[in-house]
């Protein structure tokens, strides 16, 4: 992917100091105690779980936290800043052409755990968008996992993940996210199906950004789209279920199968049009 390091985005918030060094539920600890220690760890930026473990076992586990501003991560920080700004410039143009204002989303970098307006979350949940505060949350360690665990290397694979989350921001601005939440409350039995359709639309929106990044801006290099397709396939529900539990349960899908995710990203990429991303009226 052709990009030039240019510092950090104005829409970037660095909260990598707030996550602690990895939280774990210790033996004998109730849920209330776990939540209390979690809150204390975030507020005081100290691993209170280590103190609990030291009191119960006599030896505190050794953990090594990376520095808040790890120089080794700075290139990656500038890369996600570039993708964030480029993605939001694209959506500003698209939305303004439809008469819709596009207020920028914020990107929050965190480490291990974060307290968002949607609640506490750990890095194990992966990148996510919180509509309550209009922020995307990413632990940069996820990109290492994308390479090692899911076999999806390449900077454009990382760009796809961020563009997908910005796609959820677009859904909020278009009113899609609110309608889906209402439909889920009205029909809980359709929750998984609706979740899959919303996630696939975000994949399609990521494809729209890739379309303009390629056709208009010229930042896409040979092999980049393959990287994105490989990432979309790697994090399909069927593949993840197969890896984690050895079998696939389609009724439990929340994001769509590998084939679906690839197909909808390609649809957005090939068309560059919002109307091509109507996953809710598709079979």
Element (H, E) at 230: helix 224-234
Please tell me the least confidently modeled range out of 44-48, 222-226, 258-262: 44-48
Rounded to an integer, what distance in angstroms lies between the CA atom of residue 84 and that of residue 224?
17
Which of the given ranges, 61-70, 145-154, 169-178, 225-234, has the highest pLDDT on average? 169-178
CB count within 10 Å of CB 171 equals 22
Local structure of 199: helix, strand or coil: helix
User: Quick one: how far is CA 19 from the chain centroid?
Assistant: 17
The answer to whether 238 and 201 have CB atoms below 8 angstroms apart is no
Q: Residue 207: its pLDDT value, please?
A: 95
What is the per-residue pLDDT for 21?
37
Intra-chain end-to-end CA distance of the chain, in Å: 34
> What are the extents of the domains in the chain?
21-64, 71-281
d(CA 151, CA 156): 13
Q: State the Cα–Cα distance between residues 80 and 159, nearest whole angstrom.
A: 7
Question: In the numeric block, which tokens belong to residue 39?
Answer: 């809150």
Percentage with pLDDT > 70 across the chain: 76
Pairing of the two strands 106-110 and 135-138: parallel
In angstroms, rounded to a whole number, what is the distance separating the alpha carbons of residues 247 and 243? 8
Phi-psi region of 145 (alpha: psi -120 to 50; beta: other; left: phi over 0): alpha
pLDDT attached to residue 171: 96
How does pLDDT run across 50-97, given as a tens digit for each residue?
444 333 333 333 334 555 667 778 888 999 999 999 999 999 999 999
- Decide if pLDDT at 172 tops 50: yes
Q: Is the pTM of this model over 0.75?
A: yes
| 3 state SS for the chain | CCCCCCCCCCCEEEECCCCCCCCCCCCCCCHHHHHHHHHHHHHHCCCHHHHHHHHHHCCCCCCCCCCCCCHHHHHHHHHHHHHHHHHHHHHHHHHHHCCCCCCCCEEEEECCEEEECCEEEEHHHCCEEECCCCEEEECCHHHHHHHHCCCCCCHHHHHHHHHHHHHHHHHHHHCHHHHHHHHHHHCHHHHHHHHHHHHHHHHHHHHHHHHHHHHCCCCCCCCHHHHHHHHHHHCCHHHHHHHHHCCCCHHHCCCCCHHHHHHHHHHHHHHCCHHHHCHHHCC
Mean pLDDT for 153-165 is 84
């Amino acid at each position: 992917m052709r990009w030039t390091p240019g510092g950090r985005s104005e829409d970037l918030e660095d909260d990598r100091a707030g996550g602690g060094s990895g939280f774990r539920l210790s033996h004998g600890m109730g849920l209330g105690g776990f939540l209390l220690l979690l809150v204390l760890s975030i507020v005081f930026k100290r691993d209170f779980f280590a103190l609990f473990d030291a009191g119960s076992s006599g030896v505190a586990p050794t953990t090594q936290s990376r520095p808040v501003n790890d120089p080794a991560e700075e290139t990656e920080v500038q890369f996600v800043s570039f993708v964030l700004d480029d993605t939001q410039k694209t959506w500003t143009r698209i939305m303004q052409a439809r008469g819709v204002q596009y207020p920028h989303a914020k990107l929050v970098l965190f480490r291990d755990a974060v307290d968002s307006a949607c609640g506490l979350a750990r890095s194990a949940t992966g990148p996510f968008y919180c509509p309550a505060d209009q922020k995307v949350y990413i632990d940069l360690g996820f990109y290492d996992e994308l390479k090692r665990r899911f076999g999806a290397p390449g900077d454009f694979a990382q760009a796809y993940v961020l563009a997908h989350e910005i796609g959820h921001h677009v859904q909020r601005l278009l009113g899609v996210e609110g309608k889906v939440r209402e439909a889920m409350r009205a029909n809980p039995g359709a929750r998984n199906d609706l979740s899959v359709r919303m996630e696939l639309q975000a994949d399609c929106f990521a494809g729209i950004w890739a379309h303009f990044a390629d056709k208009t801006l010229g930042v896409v290099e040979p092999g980049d789209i393959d990287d994105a397709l490989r990432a979309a396939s790697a994090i399909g529900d069927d593949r993840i279920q197969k890896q984690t539990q050895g079998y696939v349960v389609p009724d439990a899908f929340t994001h769509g199968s590998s084939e679906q995710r690839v197909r909808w990203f390609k649809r957005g990429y090939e068309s560059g049009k919002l109307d091509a991303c109507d996953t809710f009226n598709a079979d």
